[in-house]
A and B are shown apart, each in its own frame.
Chain A
Amino acid sequence: MGKVFSISGVVVVLLALVPLLTARTDVMTWLTFTLLYVTLSQSWNIIGGYTGQQNLGHAAFFGIGALAARYLWLSGMPLPLALLAGSLAAATFAIIIGFPAFRLKGIYFVIGTLVLAEILRIIFDTVLPRASVLPSRLLNTYSLTPRYYLNLVIAVLAVGSVYWISRSKFGLGLMSIRENEDAAEASGVNTQKQKLLAFLVSTFMSGLAGGTYAYYASAAQPGYLFSAVWTFDAVIIVFVGGVGTIWGPVIGSVFFVLLQQLLSLYLPGGTHVLVFGILFILVVLFLPGGLIGLWKKIRGLESKKRERSH
């Protein structure tokens, strides 16, 4: 584990140096998005990966966080406070819908949460049909660098949080719910409370990701902030990388953004969604551990080979 720590430390330091080494907007944008996706997918990983509750309404919390943070920030609130307020707004909404939502089990929970996010998207498309554009005083001084650093800091915090959860009593309770809810209850786990707590942490983090996007975007259509794309990008990243693991969403995010860029070079716009859909199905069917699982399998085979040659 010490090795993983030093590697990730080096990676973070290198990432912190990137803005000093390059001024290329395209590279900076990709990296910013990769970091945004790390936060977003880790937030889904907590509820979907560790707790086993396939929340397909994740975009609702991203949207609430983004919208609240953006309006507060643009009306003069300091950015850190606006981000915090956005995250709290997302978590508050999670409390309100959490109680009824967790009465639903299995596929009903999945459908219920999906519908919820779509309702919000339609509402905000109707109520706020015009895009929110940054005022010219901000547009004139717009720089990617602070956006990049903000996303870097928050992504590191997100990975750190999931690392802590995965080794804590709290995380053990969440995983027991994922594995067997009845057995978890019989072992003393208050499953309803734990699911709600996981939901709060997950939606808070999702709202934070939304806030960083709101700070990044020079123009944002309110309805788009609630688009199911945010949910499904996160879900695909988590599953392709390795569901319920610490590093899966990180590797998944890198892979996702790289592939998205490659595909957008060679395929007509929007077609990459089709490719990701097929990729997702293939991973779920044939590679349930995702890229992390594949890597472990290969390493396992190698060490077996080594044993045999000894």
Chain B
Amino acid sequence: MILEVKNLLKSFGGLVAIKDLDFTVSGGEIIGLIGPNGSGKTTLFNLISGFLKPDSGGIRFNGNDITGLKPHRICRNGIARTFQLTKPFGGLTALQNVMVGRMYGVERVGSVRQAEEECEKILEFAGLGGRGLLLASSFSIVDRKRLEIARALATKPKLLLLDEMMSGLPHTEMEEALQLVRAIGHSGITLIVVEHVMKAILDVSNRLIVLNHGEKIAEGKPQEVVRNEKVIEAYLGE
């Protein structure tokens, strides 16, 4: 078991965003995390990656309690994330963006030259080969999403949280993005993927977890979960 979330609770004022959430993730899984808008998916990512502190409950990663650690500590423990609204280091080159992850993440590289060489390969893996010297601010939304993944991968995570990498992509780009996600899974990294595009998530994940109003309402094999009445109700209304 790589991730264990127990009795997690988070509220903003009177609004309960995550309510008594329990789930576990095993190494090598690709988890699809779905749910209607406002169901708490991004809040959950923020809790796991340390950008929010839970009101109660705990998160264990690789056997260590990581509840309430700062984001950089969690990153150095081996959990990387991307942001739904991409956050590139706009004034830096794509290569420098990725080098930050490589030099400050899990297996930190001290030498700038070594980091450069390794990060060129990571860029290539993410589909940005040969574009390392361009400023990140000059990238299109599609490429910013790729860059976001490259930067996260460069930290050498064991668990990667992908927040809506595919929404808004045209069809052909989506196929490529799916291939990239699969390739990341094959390289041995465990994934939790938040996605609105249902076809994409059914295609790529081994297991689905469905949130509604901050609660887990279903969990299991993708094809079974989408036929679950509670899930259909949550998406379509009664």
Q: What is the interface of chain A, defined by CB distance below 8 A to chain B?
A: 167-169, 172-173, 175-176, 178-180, 182-191, 244
Q: Which residues from chain A contact B75 at a C-beta distance below 8 Å?
A: 185-188
Contacts of B105 in A (CB 8 A): 187-188
Which of B87, B99, B106, B152 has the largest count of A CB atoms less than 10 A from its CB?
B87
CA separation between A183 and B147, bound complex, in Å? 12
Closest to A182 in B: B87
The verdict on A168 contacting B112 (CB below 8 Å), with A175-B91, A178-B91, A190-B72 known, is yes
Q: Given that A182-B83, A186-B75 are contacting pairs, would A172 and B88 also be in contact in the complex, using a CB cutoff of 8 Å?
A: no
Whether A179 pairs with B92 at a CB distance below 8 angstroms is yes
Distance (Å) between the CB of B185 and the closest chain A CB? Answer: 21
Q: Note all chain A residues with C-beta closer than 8 A to B106.
A: 188
Give the chain A neighbours of B70 by CB distance below 8 A: 185, 190
A165 and B183 alpha carbons, distance in the complex (Å): 36
B contact residues around A185 at 8 Å (CB): 50-51, 70-72, 75
In the bound complex, residues from chain A placing their C-beta under 8 Å from that of B53 are: none
Chain B residues, CB < 8 A from A173: 100, 103-104
Nearest-neighbour CB distance to chain B for A172, whole angstroms, equals 6
Partner of B81, one of A184, A186, A189, A191: A186
Q: Can you give 9 contacting A-B residue pairs, CB < 8 Å?
A: A169-B103, A169-B115, A172-B112, A175-B91, A176-B89, A183-B83, A183-B89, A186-B51, A188-B72
Top 7 closest A-B pairs, CB basis?
A179-B89, A188-B104, A183-B87, A185-B71, A188-B75, A188-B105, A187-B101
Q: Which residues of B contact A180 (CB under 8 A)?
A: 87-90
Q: Which of B65-93 contact A (CB under 8 A)?
A: 70-72, 75-76, 80-81, 83, 87-92
Total A-B residue pairs with C-beta atoms closer than 8 Å? 89
8 Å CB contact of A169 from B91, B101, B110, B154: B110
Q: State in angstroms the CA–CA spacing of A183 and B152 once bound together.
A: 10
Q: Which residues of B contact A191 (CB under 8 A)?
A: 72
Residues of chain A contacted by B154 (CB below 8 angstroms) = 187
Contact string, B220-233, partner A, CB cutoff 8 A, digits 1/0? 00000000000000
Q: What B residues does A175 contact at CB under 8 A?
A: 89, 91-92, 96
Query: How far is the CB of B156 from the nearest CB of chain A, in Å?
Result: 10
Q: Is the CB of A176 within 8 A of B87?
A: no
Instruction: Given A180-B89, A185-B72, A187-B75, verify A172-B103 contact (CB < 8 Å).
Output: yes
Of A168, A182, A187, the contact of B104 (CB 8 Å cutoff): A187
Further 12 A-B residue pairs, CB within 8 A, beyond A173-B103, A185-B70:
A172-B103, A175-B96, A179-B89, A180-B88, A183-B88, A183-B151, A184-B72, A184-B100, A186-B87, A186-B152, A187-B105, A187-B152
The CA of A281 and the CA of B76, in the complex, are separated in Å by: 42
Report the separation of the CA atoms of residues A53 and B71 in the bound assembly, to the nearest whole angstrom: 20
Tell me which residues across on chain B come within 8 A of A188, comparing CB atoms: 72, 75-76, 100-101, 104-106, 108, 155
